[in-house]
Chain A
Amino acid sequence: MRKVLVITAVLLCQLSFSALAQDGIVAKIAEASSSVKTLSCNFEQTKRMKLLKSPMKASGRMCYEGGDKLRWEYSSPYHYIFLLNNGKVTLSGQSGTSVIDAAGSKLFSQITRIMASSVTGECLSDKQNFELNTSFSGNSPVASLKPLKKELRQMFETIRLTFNPVTLLPEKIELLESGGDSTTIELKNVIINERLDPKEFGAE
């Protein structure tokens, strides 16, 4: 009986310690993300599909300015721009440009919010939309976010963010689908709080 009590106590302690550790990491990441006013970087996207042997790779550049300004631009192997500015989304591709009111579509507004909050790590504090688990990969904190809303769950089983151990900003975003496919976005040459040209968020 005593053994059972000791084991239970140890397990409870471990649970509370891991909960405390998780709160600590989340707080530090939240502090780092709150200091980000602007962010720009290059990215490399790799989509792996169960059905196909070769992955699909794409790369480009991303700019973010606090609030809801985001420019996500693919330059190889195709040219495509996703521009979010004050709730309006402009999509420019090889076959033209279209403007969408993100607020008009529940799914679209959720996707744009995730995109904007993932690049800084703000989404970790979004308890309404995600169940959060944290761990470490070497020195790098890793946050696994399970979508709680049905619309997002149909697209992604887990969104995993790997943070730079020094800056505590995301350096890898993995979108894991229930069918086994995955998309990995690696952020490179991250520059924060440098003035961005307002034209970056203007219509193309």
Chain B
Amino acid sequence: MNGLTPRNSVLNRVLFFVTLLLFCCTRVSGQESRHYLSINLPKQGFTGVCLAESDSLQIRGTIVNEFGIKALDFVYDKLSDQIRMPYIVKNLDKWYLRKVLKRDLKGILPRLCENSAFIYEGHKRKMTYNFVPLPPFDDETAE
């Protein structure tokens, strides 16, 4: 008698699969990207930071200026292939800008998760997005 009843054996298998599933989920989710972003237009520009986190269902992100003042939030739903902007700063909150930004973000997001430098040519208004990965924060490096 080794003490392993059929009920215990099933329980152990369930626990094993749950652990395996949790391990896989943590590997897939929690992907982060941090880029220094400059958006260039013919007559003006914007610089700031683009932060994004990805899991199996969504990519969530935000664009802030260097002081941390937020320009916009975005959520990409992988299943429906839709982008939402739960927040956009008032002076950018125009229907045509939302449309342009959503379309551009769809092209940007697959590359954002690669965490490498890239330039994305926007669809309209001669907008160019320049992404450069941020080095780790000093304190984080020390940890």
Give the residues in chain B near A47, CB-CB below 8 Å: 64, 68
CB under 8 Å from chain A, chain B span 79-113? 86-87, 90
Q: Is A94 an interface residue (CB 8 A)?
A: yes
Contact with B along A36-55 (1 / 0, CB 8 A): 00000000110101011110
Q: Which residue of A lies closest to B91 (CB)?
A: A107
- B115 in contact (CB, < 8 A): no
Q: Nearest chain B CB to A158's CB is how many angstroms away?
A: 15
Q: Does A177 contact B (CB under 8 A)?
A: yes
Which residues of the other chain, A, contact B121 by a CB distance below 8 angstroms?
A: none
Assess whether B135 is in contact with A51, with CB atoms less than 8 Å apart: no
Q: Which of B3-11, B15-23, B32-40 contacts A (4 or more CB under 8 A)?
A: B32-40
Indicate the size class of the contact surface on chain A: 20 to 34
B53's partner among A44, A53, A74, A76 (CB-CB below 8 A) is A53
Select from chain B the residue with minimum beta-carbon distance to A107: B91
* Contact partners of B86 in chain A: CB under 8 A: 51
With known contacts A49-B62, A56-B68, A95-B47, A77–B135 Cβ distance under 8 A: yes
Establish whether residues A59 and B139, one from each chain, have CB atoms under 8 Å apart when the complex forms: yes
B127 at the interface (CB under 8 A from A): no
Residues of A within 8 A of B (CB): 44-45, 47, 49, 51-54, 56-59, 74, 76-78, 80, 82, 93-95, 154-155, 175, 177, 179, 181, 183
